[in-house]
Amino acid sequence: MRAPPAPRTAPALSLRHALLALAIMAVWGTNFTVVHVGLKHLPPLLFAALRYTLAFLPAALLLKRPDVPWRNLAAYGLFIGVGQFGLLFLAMQGNITPGLASLVIQLQVFFTIGLAVALSGERVQRFQIAALLLALAGVGVILAHTDTETTPLGLVLVLIAAMSWAGGNVVQRSTPAANMVAYVVWASLFSAPPLFLLSLIFEGWPAMRDGLAGADLATWAAVASQAFANTLFGYAAWGWLLARYPAATVAPMSLLVPIFGMATSAAVLGEPLQSWKLIAAALVMAGLALNVLWPRIAAIRAARHPPAC
């Protein structure tokens, strides 16, 4: 009896594409420091609304709306624009440091798995449970060291933002053939108006007016960076890579986001990296690494040691 063929390992990124992936992670990681700069003058919900306004216009005049239902675009826009970034910006206004925000938001990986289990009946693997426990231990370390810079409220807001990101992931996966750039652009139509409305209700017109009046060149550069570098370049390039390589090849690169995030916040903003932050980062990163890399390791082991017939 012939043994079944050994599973093939995912191909490696070429040097050029690896550098592109590295650039994406650098943009996404340093983004948290950019957000901190923008929040110096702009209220958080207004900041998020301006980000998605620039992401929609003028790009919507150049890109045809993707052939997906309006309700899909609306769900994605609300999950990502309002849920993820609206709450993340609120948390980062004095309730969590940029470095820790870049770390905690990555727990979206586990929320995405949980939603997939709930919606499609996928089975949770033992390595995924072990990975989640490691990451939760890291969150526990952060919770035990909350202070005036990182509060329980900030941690909760970022965790809900991570859940919203996971919801957006599930929505987007239902339209794998869509042009990702056009998809993000047109979904922004459903992000900006609710954010403007929420800003008006909760932040108030005087705060909105004063924020716009006090915005300097650095503030507008932060808004532009959010719209073009983080949203359009990041998603476009990431989608381009995912269209050419298996997810198992590309996904591990996302482990670099918290590294860029914490390093940039420490270097630019002077965020201290106490031992407890490094321990928390090590635990969360170990959980993420186990979740992302274990299937690939298992495939390599299976290829080297095929089962006997």
**Rounded average pLDDT over 85-106:** 93
CA distance 120 to 127: 19
Please report the pLDDT score of residue 248 as a whole number.
62
Measure Cα distances from 72 to 69, 109, 285 in Å: 5, 21, 32
The chain-wide mean pLDDT, for the chain, equals 87
User: Would you tell me how many other CB atoms lie within 10 Å of the CB of residue 47?
Assistant: 27
Residue pair 161/73 in contact (Cβ under 8 Å)? The answer is no
pLDDT at position 122 is 67
Question: Tens of pLDDT along 209-231?
Answer: 999 999 999 999 999 999 999 88
pLDDT in tens, 144-177: 988 888 899 999 999 999 999 889 888 887 887 7
Domain positions in the chain are 15-301
Please enumerate, as own/partner, the contacts of 15-23 that have beta carbons within 8 Å and a separation of 24 or more.
Answer: 17/241, 17/244, 17/245, 20/237, 20/241, 21/241, 21/250, 21/253, 22/253, 22/256, 23/237
Is pTM, for the whole model, over 0.75?
Answer: yes
Q: What residues contact residue 293 under an 8 Å CB cut-off, 6+ apart?
A: 252
| d(C-alpha 151, C-alpha 156), whole Å | 9
Q: Which residue has the tokens 């949980």?
A: 114
User: Which residues 6+ apart lie within 8 Å of 301 measured at CB?
Assistant: none
Q: Report in angstroms the alpha-carbon separations of 32 from 3, 54, 88.
A: 50, 18, 10
